[in-house]
Structure 1
Amino acid sequence: MPEHTPASPEALFRHGLRLLLDKDIPAWISLWDEDGVMEFPFAPEGWPRRLEGKAAVAAYMRDYPDHIDLRDIPDLRVHRTEDPGTIVVEMRAEGRVVATGAAYDMTYIAVVTFRNGLITGYRDYWNPLAVREPGVDFTGSTR
């Protein structure tokens, strides 16, 4: 495990949130295992449901700050599971949609798995219908 990587899944997750708030997407991607998988079980038709590998996650997140100006995570609850490498996270994110200036206020539930201090799985259960800005997809990238 790299020296800078927090030891526990909760600490690693919180560190990752700080990186997202700082808009440091490359550093956030560095927290991922090469074979990590990101899933969106509620993704509507035409949107990605599964990203396989660190490179795919990086491509998906690359322009996130250009589309969603994430400003705060005011509500965060981390639940441990029977598997010490898996946490369930409830959180709310606030910010704005860059293209329109509209408020961004989203509630998420995520199941996140870690191995050797890296993210190996991230299942993101969120409501894509909550974002209804024309021309902006649910990741914040333009369509």
Structure 2
Amino acid sequence: MSIQENIRNAAQATFKNHLEFLSSGQIEKWVDLFDENGILEFPYGPADFPKLVKGKKELYEYMKNFPKHFLVSFENLHFHATESPNLVIAEFTSNGKAISTGKPYNQQYISVVTTDDRGMILKYVDFWNPMVALEAINAPLSNFVNE
């Protein structure tokens, strides 16, 4: 196996671990997948939603309550071919529910993730529909829409 293939395999394994740790509520292990200065970016977040979370402390604070709000499994994972072995482009879905409401949380994702040669996440850009999450937890959509 070439060095490039090893790097690509490490990047994809990290991504698979990311899904496993989130779905099983292992947030500390999830944070450990990131480089010390790793970035999580949300280009489509609502107005009051953070656009960027940086560093392990912020990542933990941001995600620590995820298991209290959502019970999900991630499915239909497909990796797209990339030129760089450090770049992961993945499409996948979630099948789950919001714990507080019991309402479905079924989401489609596209993720663009850059890793270092060890497979540590440097930057994770998360393309998802925040309205699905807001509807699942009965958040007032008017808080996020300009009138």
Work out whether residues 108 and 128 of structure 2, in 8 Å CA contact, stay in contact via their aligned partners in 1. Answer: yes
Work out whether residues 38 and 123 of structure 1, in 8 Å CA contact, stay in contact via their aligned partners in 2. Answer: yes
Question: 1:120, CA displacement in angstroms?
Answer: 0.7
Partner of 1:134: 138
Question: For 2:130 and 2:110, how far apart are their aligned partners in 1?
Answer: 13
1:68-108 Cα shifts (integer Å, max 9, x gaps):
111x2221111231111011010101111011011110001
Q: Trace 1:82-101 onto structure 2 (pairs within 5 A).
A: 82-101=83-102
TM-score by length of 1: 0.84
Question: 1:136, CA displacement in angstroms?
Answer: 8.5
Question: For 1:48 and 1:122, how far apart are their aligned partners in 2?
Answer: 14
Higher fraction of helix: 2
The answer for unaligned runs of 5 or more in structure 2 is 1-7, 142-147
Residues 1:50 and 2:49 aligned together: no
Q: Trace 1:1-143 onto structure 2 (pairs within 5 A).
A: 8-70=10-72, 72-115=73-116, 116-131=118-133, 132=135, 133-135=137-139
1:30-53 Cα shifts (integer Å, max 9, x gaps):
111011011000111011001111
Q: Which amino acid aligns with 2:112?
A: V
- Count of aligned pairs between the two proteins: 131
The answer for unaligned runs of 5 or more in structure 1 is 1-5, 138-143
Higher fraction of strand: 1
Q: CA RMSD in A?
A: 1.9
